[in-house]
Structure 1
C-alpha cells in the first residue's frame, strides 16, 4: 500500500459525499482511506460505507480531540505515505499523484504540501491562497516562520513519523498540525507545490472558527515544545521564535480591543512594529476611541473569515 489517507469525521455528513467523490476521482489509485468516525450522530457512517473496499471504517468508542483521533487513525494505516483530508475539503484529481512523485524522487523529503483554494461558503467567494506561489524546497525556518497552510494539502513520509516521541499532541485542540509539522521540518526537508491542488471550504461549523480562543495559548505551547526539541532555538532561529510569538500575541488583540483595553494593545504590539504591518495597524487604531477601534477590528476579522 503506497498511501494511507487519514479522514477523521465528527458529524460531517453535510460535505462528506463531495470529499469522498474527490478522492475517488484521483488519478493515483494505490491508496486506502482510514475513516475514523469520532462518534458521529448523523449519517456520516452510511455515506462512508458507500465507498469501495479501499475505505476502512473505524468507529471510535469515545469522542476524542481531533489530534488524538488522528493518532488512532494513523496507528491503523498501512501506507508508505500518510495524507490527510478533512471531511469538508476537496482535492484536485492529480493531488496524490503529484505528491507521491515528489516523495519518490527524493528520499530526504519528509513532507510535501500544496497551494490551495479558499472557498468561503458564507459569501460564496473563492480565491487562491498564495497568488505568487512558486515550487520550492523549504527549510525549517521557512516553514515554521511562515506557517499558514492547509492540513488537507499535506502528505508525509511514514518514516518521518517513526522517530517522533508522539505524533499529534493530545493537549492541542487548534494548533496540533502546526506543532507536528514543525517538529518534522526540523529534521526533514519539505517541498511546496505551487499548484492549488486542494479546496479548503470555510463554513460556520468548522473548528478553526470555533476554537479561536485557543490560538495564542497553543502557539506558546508549540514554541515551548520546539525549544525542548532544539535547545539552541532562540539563538539559531530567532526569526522563527519571533514569528510564533507574534502569532501568539496577535491572537489576543481582538478580545483586548473588544474589552476597551487599548493601552494593553499598544504594549502587546510595540515589540513587533518593525516586524509586521498588522502590528503597526493595530498599534495605530489603539489610539482611537474604543468604539472606533472595535468597529475597525470587527471589520478586519470579518474580512478574513
Structure 2
C-alpha cells in the first residue's frame, strides 16, 4: 500500500497536465500513487495516459461531473494513508510531500497540513506574490474569516478524516475546498509548513472568476458551518460575512471599480462594525482613495512599484 495518494482531477487539462504530473514525479518522497481522474475530457488525455510508463500513475475515467465529484472518485479509490489534491494546472515544489508527511507523522492529532502558495502566471513565472499564513491549531472559525489555505493543491489530509466528515459537496462548484477544510478543521487541529511549496497558476479565464456564483456558495458554506455550532459562537458569523465582503471589495479594486469597492466595504462594516479600526480596513480605504485620485492605471502603477520594492527587499510580496 502506498503511504500517499495524489488525486489530480482533469477536465480538458492537457495544456498543463504533463507539467503538473512531472512536478509530482519529481517529489523527494516517492511512496505514493497518483490517481488522475479524467472527468469527461474531450482532449487527448486517453492517448497521453496510455503512454505513461510509471506504474504509480493510474487513470480513472468518468462522465463529466465537475471537480468535487472527481475528487470524491479519487478518495473512494485511494489506497494511501494520506491524501493530497492537485489541480491539473498547478505545480508542486520537490519537497512538498516530504515536509507535509513529516508534519502529520509527528503530530498524530492533526487532520490536515497545508503550505504557503506561490502565485505564478500562465508560463509558470512568479508574480511576486505569496499566499502565506501562520494559522494553525483549532482554528475552524478563522478559516471562515480568512481562508489561509487558499489553494486546493496545498493540503495533505489524513484518509481517516473523510470517514469522519464525509466527501466533497458535489453541489458546490466554486467553494467546495473551503467547505471541506472548514469541516475538517471543526473536528481536527490543522498545521502549516511555512514555505511556498505550491505554485498556483493564475489564468485569465479562471472558473473561480464567476463572482456571483462565489458569493452564493460562500454564503452556503458559512450557513452550513454555523448550523450546528454552540449558540455562544454564533456571533462569529457576522465576522465571517465581513471578511467575505472585504475579499469582494479587493476584487473590485483589482477591476478599478472604486464605487463597487466602497459599497462592499460598507457591507463589511454593517456586518461587523469593529472592522473599522482594523489595518485591513485602512489598507482597503487607501486603495480606494488611490483609484479615485489617480485612476485605475495610476493605482496599478503604484501597486506594481510596491511589488517590485518588496521583491527586491524581501524576495516576495506576501
Which deviations, in whole Å up to 9, do the C-alpha atoms of 1:123-168 show, x marking residues without a partner? 944335146x66954632343333142211110001111112x321
TM-score by length of 2: 0.79
Asked if the contact 1:28–1:96 (Cα under 8 Å) also holds between the matched residues in 2, the reply is yes
Q: Secondary structure at the match of 2:204?
A: coil
- CA distance in 2: counterparts of 1:91 and 1:270, whole angstroms: 38
The CA deviation at 1:229 is 3.3
**How far apart are 1:196 and its partner, in Å?**
1.2
Aligned to 2:198: 198
**SS, match of residue 248 in structure 2:** helix
CA drift of 1:74 comes to: 1.3
Match of 1:273 among 276, 290, 295: 276
Q: Is residue 2:18 matched to residue 1:17?
A: yes
Alignment of 1:24-173 (within 5 A): 24-49=25-50, 50-61=52-63, 63-121=64-122, 124-130=125-131, 137=137, 139-148=139-148, 149-164=150-165, 166-173=166-173
Question: What do the CA deviations read for 1:28-87 (whole angstroms, capped 9, x no partner)?
Answer: 1111111110111112233334151212211112x1121122112211111111100011
Query: Following superposition, which runs of at least 4 residues in structure 1 exceed 6 angstroms of deviation?
Result: 259-263, 292-304
Name the CA distance, whole Å, in 1 between partners of 2:53 and 2:211: 34
Q: 1:201 to 1:283 in 2, by over 3 A?
A: closer
- Cα 1:250–1:16 change in 2 (3 A) is closer
Is the contact made by 2:138 and 2:186 (CA closer than 8 Å) also made in structure 1? no
Structure 2 residues without counterparts, runs of 5 or longer: 308-316
CA root-mean-square deviation:
3.4
Contact conserved, 2:269 with 2:276, CA < 8 A, in 1?
A: yes
How many residue pairs are counted as aligned between the two chains?
A: 295
Once residues 276 and 297 of structure 2 are traced to their aligned partners in structure 1, the CA distance between those partners, rounded to angstroms, is 22
Please state whether the residue corresponding to 1:151 is helix, strand or coil.
Answer: coil
Q: Does 1:218 align with 2:221?
A: no
Q: In structure 1, list runs of 5 or more residues that go unmatched.
A: none
- Partner residue, 1:254: 252
